[in-house]
Amino acid sequence: MDYFLGIDSSTTATKALLMDELGHVVGVAAVEYGYETPRPLWSEQDPHLWWQGTVAAIRQVLTNTAVPPHHIRAIGLTGQMHGLVLLDKHGAVLRPAILWNDQRTAAQCDDIRARLGKERLIQITGNDALTGFTAPKILWVQQEEPDVYAHIAHILLPKDYVRYRLTGEFAIDKADGAGTILFDLKQRDWSPEVLAALEIDPAWLPPTFEGTAVTGHLSSDAAEATGLPAGIPVVGGGGDQAANGVGVGAVVEGIVALSLGTSGVVFAATNRPAIEPDGRLHAFCHAVPGKWHFMGVMLSAAGSLRWFRDALAPGVEFGDLVQEAETIPPGSDGLLFLPYLTGERTPHPDPLARGAFVGLTVRHGRAHLTRAVLEGVAFGLRDSFELMKGAGLTAVTQVRIAGGGAKSSLWRQILADVFNAELVTVNTAEGAAYGAALLAATGAGAFASVEAACNAAIHITGMTSPGPQSASYQTLYPHYQALYPALRPTFQAIG
């Protein structure tokens, strides 16, 4: 039997996932590491940690599964997006990588908008300039560390540094490339106009590839380090969100992936390079060849429920809290919750947005507050759906949910009712690493296309359909939408 390897270089660990030719996961290994915050707002990481984690995770998964290394036919890569990795002409790391969650570049974001104009920037790249993206990080090094900037020969993203160590090749997939906001979204390649405006040398940027394309082969040095045979093809792969979309089967229009973890991510494949005119959604290339995707991000999704439990019901099990909420009718007897506990990104890119309970009376108890939190998160996630529909996404036919919050049957029902769409769970739980393995298998010819790979390997394990309470939520949703505009002046004043 043939096997395929998915490598996920995340912020806190590198995961190696081994999948057989039928799409079954036969083994997973992970090696953890940390990152540094040397100054307020800074977040950095030594790229060598990703390589060390890759070597150790591959060796561990081979040992755990006893799969013969010569049966591994291809490797797919994924990992944290947007991080800036700078190498000199010898391929040596110039400084610690500046990560996706680094917040030091607000001034550089303003600079990018000033140079290109916000509207033009969004028209080219599909996105506004945000501190998380790669482009403002490059400008920061240009302006604050000119000695480092003078020695740049190569700019990579985290997983592509791993690719370089595996193959000796400089390459990037189109999904991760789009996340730099140096991409022409429609052309699926680097934008000469953006690079010229930001004075970035195009020679520093690697060639771009579709997610299933072979970008290089395992070198003899990497083979010795990992215990794999030299010559294994390494495919383009994708940034973690695009690879996760593949991993749950969100590869055709109408099927949306919803991740309900500490944060919430709404991910929808599109057949064309659509954008949200104000840049309130991320619009990137998909890891699926010739496709794109929208992405909306809520900063405190299941994190809102955790805050509520820890602050107001310490020691109570989540299951017990949610069970109490089942006795409360939709709308929590006139109580609404805004889930902006850590600011917000979609649909309101506002770090000063705040959480709020609105409509409290003496009739409300803990169960009401719990249900209001569940409903408020659902309404907030629906905001991303509405933006996507407004930007041209066809009707949502199915939402594939994953993450810790997906374990609650009540929350799943509330989400299905609020979205007025079918909500399903699937058999895959490894997300991005699994998606990378599927991309590798497709690139190696085990499947005719990514869509065929997903159809063969991913199966529905549970379904929640909108119920009779859905009508109540359609009436309540506009009242939720009205809260942020009404409270924004107060948020700004107290922030």
Q: Are residues 150 and 257 in the same domain?
A: no
How high is the pLDDT of residue 35? Answer: 94
| Domain edge (last residue) among 215, 236, 257 | 236
Same domain, 246 and 285: yes
Domain termination residue (choose one: 236, 269, 303):
236
Checking 222-227 for CB contacts under 8 A at 24+ apart, the result is: 222/165, 222/166, 222/167, 225/55, 226/54, 226/55, 226/58, 226/59, 226/166, 227/58, 227/59, 227/62, 227/69
Whether residues 71 and 157 share a domain: the answer is: yes
Is the same domain home to 232 and 245? no
- The pLDDT of residue 276 is 94
Alpha carbon distance 172, 176 (integer Å): 7
pLDDT digits (tens, 9 = 90+) for 346-357: 999 888 999 999
Would you state the pLDDT for residue 396?
85
CATH number at residue 77: 3.30.420.40
pLDDT given for residue 222 in this prediction: 98
495 — pLDDT class (breaks 50, 70, 90): confident
Q: Active-site residue among 240, 278, 310, 333? A: 240
Assess whether 240 carries a catalytic annotation.
yes
Residues 226 and 332 in one domain: no
Instruction: Give the Å distances, CA to CA, from 362 to 96, 293, 311, 321, 325.
Output: 53, 45, 20, 20, 17
Residues 336 and 206 in one domain: no
**Longest Cα pair distance anywhere in the chain, in angstroms?**
71
- Tens digit of pLDDT for each residue in 265-289? 999 999 999 999 999 999 999 999 9
The answer on 275 and 137 residing in a single domain is: no
Burial of 214 (0-12, 13-18, 19+ CB in 10 A): middle
State the average pLDDT over residues 444-457.
97
Q: Kindly tell me if the per-residue pLDDT of 397 is higher than 90.
A: no
Structure confidence by residue, pLDDT tens digits, 47-61: 999 999 999 999 999
If asked whether residues 323 and 307 sit together in one domain, one would say yes
Binned at pLDDT 50, 70 and 90, residue 404 comes out as confident
Q: What is the pLDDT of residues 17-40, one digit of tens each?
A: 999 999 999 999 999 999 999 999
Q: What is the pLDDT of residues 121-142, one digit of tens each?
A: 999 999 999 999 999 999 999 9
Mean pLDDT, all residues of the chain: 96
Helix axes 48-65, 158-167, angle to 10 degrees: 70
The average pLDDT across 399-412 equals 92
Q: Report pLDDT for 433.
A: 96
| Distance of alpha carbon 226 from alpha carbon 407, whole angstroms | 36
Q: Tell me: pLDDT of 395 over 80.
A: no
Do 172 and 262 sit in the same domain of this protein? no
Residues 406 and 464 in one domain: yes
Using 50, 70 and 90 to split pLDDT, how confident is the model at 392? confident
Choose one of 217, 236, 255: the last residue of a domain.
Answer: 236
Same domain, yes or no, for 294 and 149? no
pLDDT tens-digit readout, 185-201: 999 999 999 999 999 99
Q: What is the pLDDT of residue 5?
A: 98
User: What integer pLDDT is reported at residue 430 of this predicted model?
Assistant: 85
Residue 479: pLDDT band with limits 50, 70, 90: very high
User: Which 3-state string (H, E, C) describes 402-469?
Assistant: ECHHHHCHHHHHHHHHHHCCEEEEECCCCCHHHHHHHHHHHHCCCCCCHHHHHHHHCCEEEEECCCCC
HSE-CB for 24 with a 13 A CA cutoff = 6
Answer yes or no: is pLDDT of 431 > 90: no
| Structural domain that includes position 198 | 3-236
Phi, psi of 192, rounded to the nearest 5 degrees: -60, -35
Tokens representing residue 244 in the block? 């996760």
For residue 117, what are the contacts with CB-CB under 8 A and spacing of at least 6?
none
Number of domains within the chain: 2
Residues 224 and 357 grouped into a single domain: no
